[in-house]
Amino acid sequence: DAGVIQSPRHEVTEMGQEVTLRCKPISGHDYLFWYRQTMMRGLELLIYFNNNVPIDDSGMPEDRFSAKMPNASFSTLKIQPSEPRDSAVYFCASSSRRGGRDTQYFGPGTRLTVL
Amino acid sequence: EDKVVQSPLSLVVHEGDTVTLNCSYEVTNFRSLLWYKQEKKAPTFLFMLTSSGIEKKSGRLSSILDKKELFSILNITATQTGDSAIYLCAVGLQGAQKLVFGQGTRLTINP
């Protein structure tokens, strides 16, 4: 069974450009999470969805960040405009309410560098 | 504010040593505590604990939860260089599906 899939794996962009990160959760999982990880702040939850509906976006740093989940198998995290302080590894994770409901499975991450 | 604190932040030991990693928490509505291992890529799931005093074990790794004192430990015996990683502790909350993560312990095993 395929795990969580993220793309791209690496992204290098210039300040002010729009960045779109993509995620495909594990099939059958009804929760999807976006995290950001930096050396300074560790792993931070940005937003999570249940059945494609955003439940908690309190971790989204500012209006430059937006996330969507148009269907059960796809989500995007967009940063517009990007800034150097957005440089981090962005992880997507998914989980299911059935059995081990708190266990989240992480994708490989997207390493974003904003110059 | 919900908080998870891990200690030590960094640990360097020799291969064959036994290590104990600590995780304490202060949260409003505890449901579960999880341990993850992060090597160079994504965190991978190790254990989930919900009941006090019941040890979970997988090979050389074991973990236990104390809900009265609000902490958990992760033990690794006979460490190997492949155990070098960041170990993350996270707490799941009642009424919400999200996890609150600690800052992690960076474990380095020297040959």
Mean pLDDT of successive 10-residue stretches along chain B, which has 111 residues:
94 97 94 94 92 92 94 97 96 87 96 91
Cross-chain residue pair A45–B98, CB shorter than 8 Å: yes
The whole-number pLDDT of residue A101 equals 72
The whole-number pLDDT of residue A98 equals 75
Judge whether A9 is closer than 8 Å to chain B, CB to CB: no
Cross-chain residue pair B41–A105, CB shorter than 8 Å: no
A112 with A54: CB under 8 angstroms?
A: no
The whole-number pLDDT of residue A99 equals 60
**Nearby residues of B69 by Cβ (< 8 Å), 6 or more positions away:** none
Contact list in A for residue B100 (CB cut-off 8 A) is 45
Judge whether A104 is closer than 8 Å to chain B, CB to CB: yes
Cross-chain residue pair B32–A102, CB shorter than 8 Å: yes
**SS3 of A50-78:** ECCEEEECCCCCCCCEEEEEEECCEEEEE
The whole-number pLDDT of residue B86 equals 96
**Nearby residues of A66 by Cβ (< 8 Å), 6 or more positions away:** A60, A77, A78, A80
List the Cα angle A82/A9/A71 in 5-degree steps: 80
**In a 3-state reduction of DSSP, which class is residue A11?**
strand
Query: Rounded distance, CA A36 to CA A86, Å?
Result: 9
CA A71 to chain centre: 15
Judge whether B3 is closer than 8 Å to chain A, CB to CB: no
Contact list in B for residue A33 (CB cut-off 8 A) is 98
Q: DSSP assignment, residue A101?
A: T
Q: Would the CA dihedral through B93, B99, B100, B105 be positive or negative?
A: positive
Distances (CA, A) of B33 to B39, B40, B75, B88: 20, 23, 15, 11
Residues of chain A with pLDDT below 50 are none
The residue in chain B having the minimum alpha-carbon distance to the alpha carbon of residue A41 is B103
